A = this chain, B = another copy of it.
Amino acid sequence: MKISLDNARELCVAYLVRHEMPEEHAGVVAEHLIYATLAGHDYAGLSRLLPIAKMLRERGPGGTITTLRETEKSAFIDGANVNGYVTSVLAMDKAIALAKKNGVGIVGLSNSWFSGMLRYYVERAARAGMIGMHAANSTARVAPYGGIDRLLGTNPIAFAFPAGDTPLVVDFSCASMMWGDVLYHQQTGRPLPEGHAVDLDGFPTVDPASALAGAIRTWGGPRGSGLAVVIQALGILGGSDPIISEAGKWGYFFMAFDPELLMPLNDFKKNISSMQEQIETSRPSPGGAAVRVPGSSGTRKIQEGQARGWIEVDDAIYQAITLPCNH
């Protein structure tokens, strides 16, 4: 069904507050979930309220977020078991503030859980005229190239660069398939596509249950696996365990820095815009669609959706989040 953005915001906040999340935090999560829905990622949109509520029931709403270590260009934050959608905005904004003041801000964040789409955070840096970088590790679900044991998280990374019109925003995960997508295949009784997972003994499988017991493959062969290991290391710097067990500590790494360190911001923005334009006006593959700058189609959908003022929400999700009490 169609609901207005204002209505969606109210529903999200009310639902999360019913699950003991402070109202201020719930508002931050609501903005992110609406953004993800607008971007066209239904699995990252309002449907995420249900697993977030499950985590809130299991872990509680968290305590007081504190900064454990700080310099004029860095901060190490203890997320106090507060949800990652909330702590990641704080951490990225801290990195941006440090970069505005001192050119560079590097922030580590641990003791937090779930943080949605990484582009949401780095885009804040680009809109503030900074270059943003963010990497996050999480519970081991993914086997490195050549291996079959779950050692790495799905390990997403994101970058954003200020540009004349629309920031350049790139984000992706290093897992060949998202964990939630495997769960969704299991729930809907469908086999996985070939080549994405191995069973407990390391043999290729398309059975979701076997994959959930086994491991997901990294994306992109040795190179994708190499990047997944880099993200694992950046998460370690953010305070995670080396390899993260079910009850282990995740780590988030945030960086913002000022392009003015190396060149005037306007020159940089002009050059990034020129690259974006030359890519988007280049020839597509014969018979193919127009060439897109990575991330730009999400950005367009978000802008269009904000102008339109409503989102489409799955009826089952709507019912689940509007029931007066479901825990």
Q: Please, how many angstroms separate the alpha-carbon atoms of A143 and B288 in the complex?
A: 14
- Interfacial residues of chain A within 254-301, with CB under 8 A of chain B in the complex: 257, 259, 261-263, 268, 271-272, 274-275, 278-279, 282-286, 288-295
> Contact between B263 and A239 (Cβ–Cβ < 8 Å)?
yes
- Nearest residue, chain B, Cβ from A219: B223
- Nearest residue, chain B, Cβ from A233: B161
> Contact between A230 and B148 (Cβ–Cβ < 8 Å)?
no
> Contact between A106 and B285 (Cβ–Cβ < 8 Å)?
no
Q: Please, how many angstroms separate the alpha-carbon atoms of A206 and B133 in the complex?
A: 37
A148 to chain B, nearest CB (A): 5
A138 within 8 A of B: no
- Nearest residue, chain B, Cβ from A281: B149
> Contact between A263 and B230 (Cβ–Cβ < 8 Å)?
no
Question: Which of chain B's residues have a CB closer than 8 A to the CB of A168?
Answer: 229, 233
> Contact between B226 and A71 (Cβ–Cβ < 8 Å)?
no
A90 within 8 A of B: no
Q: A146-B289, A237-B131, A272-B236 are in contact. Are A151 and B282 (CB under 8 A)?
A: yes
Chain B CB count within 10 A is highest, among A108, A271, A292, for A271
Question: Which of chain B's residues have a CB closer than 8 A to the CB of A146?
Answer: 284-285, 288-292
In the complex, the count of this chain's copies comes to 2
A69 within 8 A of B: yes
> Contact between B272 and A242 (Cβ–Cβ < 8 Å)?
yes
Question: Which of chain B's residues have a CB closer than 8 A to the CB of A259?
Answer: 237
How many residues belonging to A are interface residues under a CB distance threshold of 8 Å?
A: 74
Q: A69-B263, A131-B237, A294-B222 are in contact. Are A282 and B229 (CB under 8 A)?
A: no
- Nearest residue, chain B, Cβ from A291: B147
A141 to chain B, nearest CB (A): 14
Q: A233-B168, A237-B268, A294-B229 are in contact. Are A220 and B219 (CB under 8 A)?
A: yes
- Nearest residue, chain B, Cβ from A262: B108
Question: Which of chain B's residues have a CB closer than 8 A to the CB of A237?
Answer: 131, 161, 259, 262-263, 268
Contact of A148 among B198, B225, B262, B285 (CB under 8 A): B285
Interface string of A213-253 (1 = CB under 8 A from B): 00000011111111101101100111101110000000000
A272 to chain B, nearest CB (A): 6
Interface positions of A (Cβ within 8 A of B) = 69, 71, 73-74, 76, 102-104, 106, 108, 131, 143-149, 151, 159, 161, 168, 170-172, 198, 201-203, 219-227, 229-230, 232-233, 236-239, 241-243, 257, 259, 261-263, 268, 271-272, 274-275, 278-279, 282-286, 288-295
